[in-house]
Structure 1
Amino acid sequence: MRLIVMFDLPVETTAEQRAYRQFRKALLSEGFLMMQESIYVRVVTNQKAANLLEKRIVVHVPNNGLIQTLQVTEKQYASMHFLVGEPKKDIKNRDDKVIVI
């Protein structure tokens, strides 16, 4: 499965910019990779793991803005269409590198 986090956070004040940086840093420390600006994705083993990861992210959510998550299966993620541009062939973003223990 993949957990996708999409967010739109205000960055008008210094405090909002700091909250944005802290949230983004928290996503990166949880192992998320940037798909696009303000869209991050991470491979998870199952829905339970995705739910636990969401709970860990909630701790870092700023007071303002909009943050949404989406859980999709690998099959759904693989069926993504690229209308412009090319898919990234980043080895860190491949599902065949996931080891389930």
Structure 2
Amino acid sequence: MNQNRYNAYRIMWVIVLFDLPTETKTERKAANLFRKKLIDDGFTMFQFSIYMRHCPSRENSKVHIKRVKSLLPKYGKVCIFELTDKQFGNMELFHGRKEIEKPKASQQLELF
């Protein structure tokens, strides 16, 4: 196996941030459906309206970004971006004033 294949600059995180309207029953339904489809695609909640997904490569992250774009609701704001695993590792997380651990990367089986 090629060691360069799994380095911190090749492994990617896809982050989806969204602010969707929820004033009407239809808007709430659309927002919940978008969130559910993110979860179905392997995203996990990082904070309210912020979901993230670990991807083994930039090519794989592009697949998931394309999928998220196909799920976009009619109204609201959605931001999608990628971070390398190295950049993600430099993040500092706090709950109040106490620093907390970063989420662990999921172990993902890749089949060819």
Alignment correspondent of 2:66: 55
State the TM-score, normalizing by the size of structure 1.
Answer: 0.85
Q: Deviations over 1:47-98 (max 9, x none)?
A: 111111111122221111100111001111011012434235xxxx523724
Return 5+ residue gaps in structure 2 as ranges.
1-11
> Which structure shows the bigger proportion of residues in strand conformation?
2
The sequence identity of aligned pairs, in percent, is 33
- 1:95 paired residue among 79, 82, 105: 105
Q: Deviations over 1:17-63 (max 9, x none)?
A: 00000000000000111000000011011111111111112222111
Length, aligned pairs only: 97
State the TM-score, normalizing by the size of structure 2.
Answer: 0.77
- Further displaced range: 23-32 or 75-84: 75-84
Cα-Cα RMSD: 1.7
Return 5+ residue gaps in structure 1 as ranges.
none
Identify if the C-alpha distance between structure 1 residues 78 and 22 changes in structure 2 by more than 3 Å, giving closer, same or farther. Answer: same
Identify if the C-alpha distance between structure 1 residues 8 and 96 changes in structure 2 by more than 3 Å, giving closer, same or farther. Answer: closer
Bigger relative contact order, structure 1 or 2, given CA contacts below 8 A and separation 6+?
A: 1
1:23 aligns with 2:34: yes
Identify if the C-alpha distance between structure 1 residues 51 and 96 changes in structure 2 by more than 3 Å, giving closer, same or farther. Answer: closer
- 2:23 paired residue among 2, 6, 12: 12
Alignment correspondent of 1:64: 75
